[in-house]
């Protein structure tokens, strides 16, 4: 498994019917596959097996979720949903996931000025 897709990594799908959605990597499935969850369609109990070629890495999961996953602690679907809520809101609008961080920054700036 490539280092950029380690446990606790925030990723977005760039292929398949889940294209544009954000997920958290919760484990390796094989050398070129990882298991990902979003807390909604893909729960911790039923993760999605995804080819790493179809994913874009965006760094570590937000907040304490990354720490819990790195330690091997159990996480709930609610924690996953909370961490991904702002990302999947952007992606569900049809925005390219690669540009999501810039869009989120702009949204924050607009809210500060008004």
CATH code, domain with 13 = 2.30.30.30
pLDDT value at residue 30: 86
User: pTM of the full predicted structure?
Assistant: 0.75
| pLDDT for the residue numbered 47 | 96
pLDDT by residue (tens digit) across 73-82? Answer: 999 999 999 9
The whole-number pLDDT of residue 92 equals 52
Number of folded domains that form the chain = 1
Q: Which of 65, 16, 18 is nearest to 44 (CA)?
A: 65
Contacts of 96 (CB under 8 A, 6+ apart): 20
Give the range of the structural domain holding residue 92, as residue numbers without chain letter: 3-113
pLDDT at 100 over 80: no
Alpha-carbon torsion 2, 7, 11, 15, what sign? positive
Q: How sure is the predictor about 29, in pLDDT bands with cuts at 50, 70 and 90?
A: confident
Largest CA distance in the chain: 48
The set of long-range contacts for 81-87, using a CB threshold of 8 Å and a minimum separation of 24, is 81/38, 81/39, 81/40, 82/39, 83/24, 84/10, 84/22, 84/23, 84/24, 84/38, 84/39, 87/10, 87/12, 87/22
Measure the CA–CA gap between 75 and 71, rounded to whole angstroms.
11
Query: What is the per-residue pLDDT for 88?
Result: 76
Question: For the segment 54-98, what is each residue's pLDDT rounded down to a tens digit?
Answer: 999 999 998 889 999 989 999 999 999 999 988 877 555 455 555
Mean pLDDT of the chain: 82
pLDDT the model gives residue 24: 96
Report the SS3 class of residue 69.
helix
């Amino acid at each position: 498994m490539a280092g950029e897709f380690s446990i606790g990594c925030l990723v977005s799908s760039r292929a398949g019917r889940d294209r544009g959605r954000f997920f958290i990597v919760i484990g390796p499935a094989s050398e070129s596959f990882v298991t990902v969850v979003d807390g909604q369609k893909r729960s911790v109990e039923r993760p999605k097996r995804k080819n790493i070629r179809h994913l874009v890495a965006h760094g570590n999961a937000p907040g304490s979720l990354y720490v819990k996953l790195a330690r091997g602690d159990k996480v709930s679907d609610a924690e996953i949903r909370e961490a991904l809520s702002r990302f999947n809101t952007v992606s569900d609008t049809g925005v390219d996931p690669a540009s999501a961080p810039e869009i989120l920054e702009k949204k924050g700036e607009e809210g500060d000025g008004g």
